[in-house]
């Protein structure tokens, strides 16, 4: 082990720990060639060079595994717990694609510094690409580990200014714990990575602990073969989540969310298959099916005279680039007898930042046909907001990453307030996503947010979920299922 090495190198007569520090700094700065030539045949030098990441100066995966093996030996003898964190920087590929790899590299360097700065005695390594590994020693599980994980998420979420851009970063973390989740270094790292992948399937800016149910990973070839037949077999379904206006406490809309009822794997969330659908070219027929199904359901609710103001549907970047997409959507609405002014099409902020000419033209075409346009996950992009002046936007949806921490993070609270205030000035409506607690609701109400949606009102479910939340238009108030029982 480099870090525990002591004494002098037999070749160059330099203390091993001092040499390791020199090498780590030189690797990070790209100045290894400037180190004294006496090190060239030094075994400690050669080992040190192979153990550090060239960009961040952090230990690499190889070093981390060796370090973890050493700590496991200590933990067995002294009977203490170990936690391994697999940390993934959300949407870093979009940063690289939009702003260039130079900015992306600076993001990685900053995240590395933030991870190292939280607890000096922990081991932090860069595993690969946008992933890091963190080793926590002598931490109480679960309370102590989860406290550190939440602190890490908050640290990473602090705004970062690079080359004139202000980036709002988030991360997703998978956790494994010794001895419960593995007895050797490879198993603990693999299980933390497995938990990370499960966490990302359900969204970003969150963490998950490894469980035995994760032991059966989903193979992409297996999913791909099933994906191509799933639409024909009717395996996809839409779940609906109510959107509630905070002034009237009425259901002002419903968002359609796709799920895959896989015959062998059960219900899969969109994060587990939409990326594959994009890679295989299935995203356009899949999302077109979702649009048609959502419009048909909205038409059925209209026939039942249910007081649901609008239907929100997510559309992909691929659809916006399709030359006939606006015409297709308009035709489906006409066939279902739906007023386009009651259909809200949600696009992610990253799609708009890409500034694709075809996508922008399609958005204007959709707006001209009467459709409402909402920016989903707002606040996770960049502070250059000039696109809001150029695009036909009706609504901003505050990303759940900021809603979740409004009570515990000054930064998240400030961002949420800023988005609401800015929307007011631009005469845009605001919906907050991911509302899970009464305190979050009260914060948003106090600061003038128009609408909320999230698990506080109920999980997405079949159409009956919305139907139970709404009464006939002639009634005087809306009944919502209350998480604490009764109705409100």
Q: Once rounded to an integer, what is the mean pLDDT over residues 158-170? A: 86
pLDDT digits (tens, 9 = 90+) for 244-258: 999 888 899 999 999
Most confident of 281-285, 400-404, 445-449: 445-449
> Which of the pair, 238 or 1, is modelled with greater confidence?
238
Residue 372 has pLDDT above 80, yes or no: yes
CA-derived radius of gyration, the chain: 25
Cα–Cα distance for residue pair 41/200, rounded to 1 Å:
45
- How big is the CA angle at 150 (ends 148 and 156), to the nearest 5 degrees? 100
The upper half-sphere exposure of residue 396, i.e. CA atoms within 13 Å in the direction of its Cβ, equals 26
* pLDDT tens-digit series, residues 62-113: 888 888 988 998 888 887 889 999 999 988 888 877 888 888 888 999 999 8
Greater pLDDT, 407 or 418: 418
* 34-to-37, 130, 278, 386 alpha-carbon distances in Å: 8, 28, 46, 46
Residue 227: strand pairing partners: none
According to DSSP, the residues that pair with 374 across neighbouring strands are: 346, 395
**Please, are residues 288 and 282 in contact by the beta-carbon 8 Å criterion?**
no
Q: What is the pLDDT of residue 265?
A: 66
Residue 312 phi, psi dihedral angles, 5° rounding:
-105, 130
Give kind and range of the element (H or E) at residue 482.
none
CATH number, domain 220-469 = 3.20.20.450
Q: Which uninterrupted H or E stretch holds 260?
A: strand 251-262
Helix, strand or coil, per DSSP, at residue 34: helix
pLDDT of residue 463: 92
Residue 294: in which H helix or E strand, if any?
helix 283-303
Output the pLDDT for position 239.
93
Q: What are phi and psi of 391, to 5 degrees?
A: -115, 150
CB contact burial 370-397 (16+ within 10 A = b; e otherwise): ebbbbbbbbbbbbeeeebbeebebebbb
Task: Give the model confidence (pLDDT) of 98-151 as tens digits.
Answer: 888 888 888 999 999 888 877 777 889 988 778 899 999 887 777 788 889 999
More confident residue, 212 or 418: 418
Residue 470 has pLDDT above 90, yes or no: no
Cα–Cα distance measured from residue 4 to residue 2, given in angstroms and rounded to the nearest whole number: 6
For the chain, give the number of residues: 488
Lowest mean pLDDT among 67-71, 213-217, 281-285, 370-374: 213-217
Strand 82-89 to strand 131-137: parallel, antiparallel, or no bridges (unpaired)? antiparallel
**What whole-number distance in Å separates Cα of residue 367 and Cα of residue 432?**
23
User: 175 near 208, Cβ under 8 Å?
Assistant: yes
The domain limits of the chain are: 1-52, 61-215, 220-469
pLDDT in tens, 314-323: 998 888 888 8
Q: Other CB atoms closer than 10 Å to residue 159's CB: what's the count?
A: 12
Q: What is the mean pLDDT of residues 295-302?
A: 95
User: Per the structure block, which two tokens stand in for 73?
Assistant: 């030996």
What whole-number distance in Å separates Cα of residue 346 and Cα of residue 336? 20
The pLDDT confidence band at residue 4, using thresholds 50, 70 and 90, is: very low
Q: Which of 378, 351, 371 is nearest to 433 (CA)?
A: 378
CA within 13 Å, CB half, 365: 17
Top CATH class, 61-215: alpha beta
How many beta carbons lie within 10 A of that of residue 474, not counting itself? 7
Looking at residue 443, what is its pLDDT? 93
Question: What is the rounded CA–CA span in Å between residue 411 and residue 158?
Answer: 7
């Amino acid at each position: 082990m480099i870090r525990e090495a002591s004494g002098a190198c037999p070749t160059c007569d330099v203390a091993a720990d001092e040499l390791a520090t020199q090498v780590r700094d030189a690797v990070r700065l790209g100045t290894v060639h400037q180190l004294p030539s006496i090190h060239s045949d030094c075994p400690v030098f050669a080992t040190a060079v192979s153990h550090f990441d060239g960009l961040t100066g952090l230990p690499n995966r190889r070093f981390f595994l060796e370090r973890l093996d050493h700590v496991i030996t200590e933990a067995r003898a002294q009977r203490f717990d170990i936690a391994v964190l697999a940390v993934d920087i959300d949407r870093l590929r979009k940063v690289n694609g939009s702003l260039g790899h130079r900015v992306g590299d600076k993001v990685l360097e900053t995240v590395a510094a933030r991870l190292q700065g939280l607890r000096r005695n922990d081991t932090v390594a860069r595993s690969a690409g946008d992933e890091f590994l963190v080793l926590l020693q002598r931490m109480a599980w679960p309370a102590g580990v989860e406290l550190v994980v939440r602190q890490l998420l908050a640290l990473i979420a602090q705004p970062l200014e690079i080359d004139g851009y202000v980036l709002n970063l988030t991360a997703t973390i998978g956790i494994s714990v010794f001895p419960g989740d593995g007895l050797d270094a490879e198993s603990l790292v693999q299980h933390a990575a497995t938990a990370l992948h499960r966490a990302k399937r359900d969204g970003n800016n969150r963490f998950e602990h490894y469980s035995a149910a994760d032991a059966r990973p989903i193979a992409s070839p297996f999913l791909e073969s099933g994906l191509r037949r799933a639409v024909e077999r009717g395996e996809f379904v839409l779940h609906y989540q109510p959107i509630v206006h905070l002034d009237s406490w009425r259901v002002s809309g419903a968002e359609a969310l796709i799920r895959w009822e896989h015959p062998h794997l059960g219900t899969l969330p969109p994060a587990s298959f939409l990326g594959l659908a994009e890679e295989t070219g299935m995203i356009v027929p899949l999302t077109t099916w979702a649009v048609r199904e959502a419009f048909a359901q909205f038409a059925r609710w209209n026939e039942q005279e249910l007081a649901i103001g609008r239907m929100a549907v997510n559309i992909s970047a691929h659809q916006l680039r399709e030359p006939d997409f606006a015409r297709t959507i308009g035709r489906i609405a006409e066939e279902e007898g739906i007023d386009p002014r009651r259909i809200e099409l949600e696009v992610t902020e990253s799609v708009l930042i890409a500034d694709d000419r075809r996508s922008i033209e399609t958005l204007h075409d959709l707006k001209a046909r009467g459709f409402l346009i909402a920016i989903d996950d707002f606040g996770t992009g960049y502070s250059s907001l000039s696109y809001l002046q150029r695009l036909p936007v009706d609504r901003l949806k505050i990303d759940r990453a900021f809603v979740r921490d409004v009570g515990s993070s000054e930064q998240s609270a400030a961002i949420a307030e800023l988005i609401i205030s800015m929307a007011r000035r631009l005469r845009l409506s605001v919906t907050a996503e991911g509302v899970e607690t009464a305190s979050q609701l009260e914060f948003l109400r106090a600061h003038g947010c128009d609408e909320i949606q999230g698990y506080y009102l109920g999980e997405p479910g079949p159409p009956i979920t919305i139907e139970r939340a709404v009464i006939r238009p002639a009634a005087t108030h809306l009944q919502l299922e209350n998480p604490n029982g009764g109705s409100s």
